[in-house]
């Protein structure tokens, strides 16, 4: 049975430095949540505290409403999958998967049935007698996942499990993990620094910096409506310009930044005072041959970089001394030095607070 996970006032400090400070976080039963952030942001420490491998300095962790903060790791019924597969090299696939069941003194007949079922589930049929060194990276990762799943955990924790795989295999394993998680309906918390992994896999994403969660939201909201400048930058918004002034005008505001004046919906302006930034993802910036009547947020510039990326072109267009990054699927590439116009569509501009 899946479980809810609640974090309340969780805090961890090493040598005077706070590495995790999470006032509140809830993962619903059967939900797939990613902890996303750069190295050292506290996401793995958070995962280990949930698993019971690291003791917090303060706070509480609840599984389905019950505190497990004093429950030892082996009693939490949590499956853990690490970045390094940690398979036993002297054991074949069957024995690796069965190891936890044997340690739990599960009867031999039940072990055989459960291992056979999970081998089929993770699509390792016919490989039961192979040793880890005889398997591909993807197969080894499936063994590691099978070893966790065979224990029938109430919660599955995964710490950057795809980091050691090549690009093609990572894509295949993403689909596999998502399909497996959906079929088991098991609550899953997945740590990654790869924003594309988080967006592909998650029901919700917790973006972390310096041990603090800056945004906890669905993938689309994090991708298109980042809550802060740090989130926007990490998630790949790239076009970020500091606002130097703003004038309200009904439903539309005009903000001044290094590009010039930009019109934006008043609903996308943050409340309160402080430093704010205009944000627009490169795939939403339009590349035009010239302005058309009535167009707003259009700026003239010069192509300074044009890089072919297969299905798209990556451009850097300099506007008023500022580089604008654009991903365009247009068939006719523009050469470096070409005069162009760029437009920021009003429905894809966001204003965020920041430092």
Is the domain defined by 5-224 classed in CATH 3.40.50.800?
no
Q: Give percent above pLDDT 90 in the chain.
A: 70
What confidence score (pLDDT) does residue 262 get? 86
- The percent of the chain in helix, strand and coil, each rounded to the nearest 5, is 30, 35, 35
Angle at which helix 108-121 crosses helix 137-149, to 10 degrees, equals 130
Distance of CA 336 to the CA centre of its chain: 34
What confidence score (pLDDT) does residue 259 get? 85
Backbone angles phi, psi at 220, to 5 degrees: -65, -40
Q: Which residue has the tokens 């793995």?
A: 44
Tokens of 65: 């409403």
> Which architecture characterizes domain 229-353 according to CATH?
Beta Barrel (2.40)
Distance of CA 76 to the CA centre of its chain: 25
Question: pLDDT, tens digit, for every residue of 255-314?
Answer: 888 888 888 876 666 665 666 899 999 999 998 888 866 667 899 999 999 998 888 899
Question: pLDDT, tens digit, for every residue of 179-190?
Answer: 999 999 999 999
Residues of the chain with pLDDT under 70: 1, 248-252, 266-275, 292-295, 330-331
- 197-231 burial string, b = 16+ CB within 10 Å, else e? bbbebbebbbbbbbbebbbbbebeebbebbbbbbb
Domain boundaries, the chain: 5-224, 229-353
């Amino acid at each position: 049975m899946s479980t809810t996970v609640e974090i309340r006032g969780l805090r961890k400090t090493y040598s005077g430095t706070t590495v995790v400070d999470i006032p509140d976080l809830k993962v619903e039963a059967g939900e797939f949540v990613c902890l996303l952030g750069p190295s050292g942001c506290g996401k793995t420490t958070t995962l280990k505290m949930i698993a019971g491998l690291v003791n917090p300095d303060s706070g509480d962790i609840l599984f389905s409403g019950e505190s497990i903060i004093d429950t030892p790791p082996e009693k939490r019924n949590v499956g853990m999958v690490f970045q390094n597969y940690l398979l036993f090299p002297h054991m074949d696939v069957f024995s690796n998967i069965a190891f936890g069941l044997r340690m739990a003194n599960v009867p031999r007949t039940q072990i055989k049935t459960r291992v056979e079922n999970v081998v089929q589930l993770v699509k390792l049929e016919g490989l039961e007698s192979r040793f880890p060194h005889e398997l591909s990276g993807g197969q080894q990762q499936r063994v590691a996942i099978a070893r966790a799943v065979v224990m029938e955990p109430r919660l599955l924790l995964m710490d950057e499990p795809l980091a050691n795989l090549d690009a093609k295999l990572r894509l295949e394993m993403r689909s596999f993990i998502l399909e497996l998680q959906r079929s088991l309906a098991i609550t899953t918390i997945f740590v990654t620094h790869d924003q594309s992994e988080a967006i592909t896999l998650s029901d919700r994403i917790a973006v972390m910096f310096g041990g603090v969660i800056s945004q906890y939201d669905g993938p689309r909201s994090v991708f298109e409506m980042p809550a802060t400048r740090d989130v926007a930058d990490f998630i790949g918004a790239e076009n970020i310009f500091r606002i130097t002034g703003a004038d309200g005008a009904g439903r539309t505001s005009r903000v001044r930044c290094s590009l010039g004046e930009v019109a934006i919906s008043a609903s996308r302006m943050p409340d309160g005072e402080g430093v704010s930034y205009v944000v627009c993802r490169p795939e939403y910036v339009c590349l035009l041959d010239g302005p058309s009547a009535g167009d707003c947020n259009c700026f003239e510039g010069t192509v300074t970089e044009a890089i072919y990326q297969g299905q798209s072109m990556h451009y850097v267009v300099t506007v008023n001394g500022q580089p604008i990054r654009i991903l365009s699927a247009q068939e006719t590439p523009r050469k470096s030095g070409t005069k162009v116009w760029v437009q920021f569509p009003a429905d894809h501009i966001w204003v965020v607070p920041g430092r």
